[in-house]
């Protein structure tokens, strides 16, 4: 009887806490590896050897499934009310007192370059950065608290029931039929000028892009919760853009981290103690 009960519960937990899904996170890691500097490649190799960024990209999701690390769950998202302009959005993010993806990414990015941190702490920081950069580019990870980032908004896609968050984590990506290598190759086509511009944007800009996107996705779901192939064709370019930007910007963070110079994209406010 235990097996009959535990399996559905496990599935529910995995679906609830998913973020981009394995294919999406792997694709972000593979895109980032194409844009790493020589110094970044060497620094990463010192930390994780021949392991790829793709392979460590889902570590943070695996970690929070363990009882001892449940506290890391809020690191993957941020809850905000709808209707904020950019200034109010920035203020709302910076003034949050609960741990969130902004405070977590800021902290782990600084841990990665902190001389006093141990090798193990730097490995942890790298693994968390790779995942969290991907997370905050998924629009539903920068969204409302009342529906748990779209987890309680029930929708259907091509007749299959699910929720809005899950559709954006993996449903649309799965419908492409592509694996992570194929997906990364398909979306990684930024020009040099785009790469430069995206890597100069700060974290708040990345997050505001997701916030604007999730606001539109809520409006779309209000019109109809039954999504068809037209929804896929309309929204897949956004999925591809977010994955591409995530990979490019992840490379930017890592290139700066291992360059020996200061970060330009990490926010200046003091990072809160994560809890």
Q: What angle do CA 234, 240, 243 make, to 5 degrees?
A: 145
- Cβ atoms within 10 Å, residue 69: 13
pLDDT tens series, the chain, 275 aa = 333 333 333 333 333 445 678 999 999 999 999 999 999 999 999 999 999 999 999 999 999 999 999 999 999 999 999 999 999 999 999 999 999 999 999 999 999 999 999 999 999 999 999 999 999 999 999 999 999 999 999 999 999 999 999 999 999 999 999 999 999 999 999 999 999 999 999 999 999 999 999 999 999 999 999 999 999 999 999 999 999 999 999 999 999 999 987 777 776 544 555 65
Question: For residues 197, 80, 78 and 31, what is the CA-based torsion angle, rounded to 10 degrees?
Answer: -30
pLDDT on residue 13? 37
Return all residues near 39 (Cβ < 8 A) that are at least 6 apart: 255, 258, 259, 260
pLDDT on residue 142? 97
Residue appearing with tokens 């930007």: 245
pLDDT on residue 264? 77
**274 neighbors 157 (Cβ within 8 angstroms):** no
- Cβ atoms within 10 Å, residue 261: 9
Q: What are phi and psi of 79, to 5 degrees?
A: -100, 130
Q: Architecture of 2-257 per CATH? A: Orthogonal Bundle (1.10)
Question: What is the pTM assigned to this prediction?
Answer: 0.91
pLDDT on residue 265? 75
């Amino acid at each position: 009887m235990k097996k009959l009960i535990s399996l559905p519960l496990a599935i529910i937990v995995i679906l609830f806490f998913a973020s981009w899904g394995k294919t999406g996170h792997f694709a972000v890691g593979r895109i980032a590896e194409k844009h790493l500097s020589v110094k970044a490649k060497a620094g990463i190799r010192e930390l994780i050897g021949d392991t790829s960024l793709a392979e460590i990209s889902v570590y943070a999701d695996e970690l929070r499934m363990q009882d001892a690390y449940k506290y890391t769950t809020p690191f993957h998202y941020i809850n905000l009310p709808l209707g904020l302009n950019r200034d109010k959005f920035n203020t709302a993010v910076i003034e949050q007192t609960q741990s969130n993806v902004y405070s977590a990414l800021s902290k782990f990015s600084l841990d990665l370059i902190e001389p006093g941190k141990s090798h193990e702490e730097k490995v942890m920081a790298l693994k968390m950065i790779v995942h969290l950069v991907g997370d905050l580019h998924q629009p539903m990870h920068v969204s409302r608290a009342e529906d748990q980032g779209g987890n309680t908004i029930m929708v259907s896609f091509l007749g299959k029931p699910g929720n809005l968050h899950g559709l954006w984590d993996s449903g649309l990506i799965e419908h492409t039929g592509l694996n992570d290598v194929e997906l990364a190759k398909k979306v990684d086509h930024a020009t040099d000028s785009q790469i430069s511009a995206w890597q100069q944007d700060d974290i708040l800009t990345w997050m505001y892009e997701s916030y604007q996107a999730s606001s539109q996705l809520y409006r779309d779901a209000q019109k109809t919760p039954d999504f068809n192939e037209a929804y896929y064709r309309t929204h897949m370019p956004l999925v591809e853009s977010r994955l591409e930007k995530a990979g490019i910007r992840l490379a930017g963070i890592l290139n700066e981290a291992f360059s020996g110079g200061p970060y330009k994209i990490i926010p200046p406010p003091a990072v809160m103690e994560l809890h």
